[in-house]
A and B are shown apart, each in its own frame.
Chain A
């Protein structure tokens, strides 16, 4: 049983590529065979986040134009052999690929992998339409910001009209302190508005930038940061495991606050 999952958002820069890279790696570490498809044509980034950019020779466009075989275009991760990448071409020609071709491509891939994760471009235009074309389920990434949630709602509507009904949500870049001071919507607020199933919450974490710079997904760290652990948990949930949500607030609490709590706790 293989799964074709598109990671999408509507709004740009909310963490689709970061989520695709980390979930792909985390699922591969759980023993699943995973292929990541970069559907962000012209603005490819997934190879960079995975540190595989120097090994990309062919792209999905070469496969579709029959300039290479599918397995020639797949870049296998040397750190984690269960993980492969199909890179996007750097061409800006948006009509270079059609939804029909994309559907065929992910279909073929699904015969060889447990998971086909498609990293969608921002927006709701052709690139997005192609990215969702062959998908059977979707992960929506949003931040707790009004504009990101609005776009997520729009995308959920579009997915539903494409008969993709299995839609789960990742709330990214949450800042518990801001939620506490009522300056940021809480996860519950976002869920109330979007009413889709919550897959996980990723805190705002500077380690994300460090990991991007290194080309090493967070989940590869020996002691993963909070965001890395959150991604591991999401991978587990995708696998059907019942994993409680991390208490991001607890972990973010300052040393003094924890000390205070310890001192004032009833013995």
Chain B
């Protein structure tokens, strides 16, 4: 019942706006992996390495990590969305970072073009 109403509303107000975009997004993601021709194992390893590097400084919410490659036109980028849960107060080496990151900073985004 509620579904039918939701469907109707969507249709009336130009709805399901994202569904086409979602396909496009999925496709860009798949193609990026196809194009760089990295094996899934290598991508997983790269993810692991990047996470490990960041984890030296901040605590990452591993559940919420988004990581992958994405393609637009003919260029491909690494997309990493690594939400920070908290800071590693116990590590004396990053005390400087504590200052800069103590502001509420929900997300760190890196975008590295691959030649």
Contacts and interface: CB of A to CB of B under 8 A. Distances in A.
Interface of A: 146, 149-150, 153-154, 157, 179, 181-186, 189, 192-193, 195
Given A183-B16, A185-B23, A186-B20, A195 B31 contact: no
Chain B interface bracket (under 10, 10 to 19, 20 to 34, 35 or more): 20 to 34
B112 interface: no
Given A157-B35, A192-B72, A193-B27, 13 more contacts: A146-B23, A146-B27, A157-B34, A179-B20, A182-B16, A182-B19, A182-B20, A183-B19, A185-B20, A185-B27, A189-B20, A193-B24, A193-B31
Contacts of A182: 15-20
A185 B22 CA distance: 10
Contacts of A185: 20, 23-24, 27
Nearest to B15: A182
Say what secondary structure dominates the interface of chain A: helix
Nearest to B28: A193
A150 B34 CA distance: 9
Given A189-B20, A192-B24, A150 B74 contact: no
A185 B72 CA distance: 16
B112 to A, nearest CB: 21
Contacts of A183: 16, 19-20
A150 B27 CA distance: 7
Contacts of A189: 20, 23-24
B30 interface: yes
Interface in B33-77: 34-35, 71-74
Q: What are the 9 A-B residue pairs with the smallest beta carbon separation, nearest first? A: A182-B20, A182-B16, A195-B73, A182-B19, A153-B31, A189-B24, A146-B27, A150-B30, A146-B23
B20 A154 contact: no
Nearest to A149: B27
B26 interface: yes
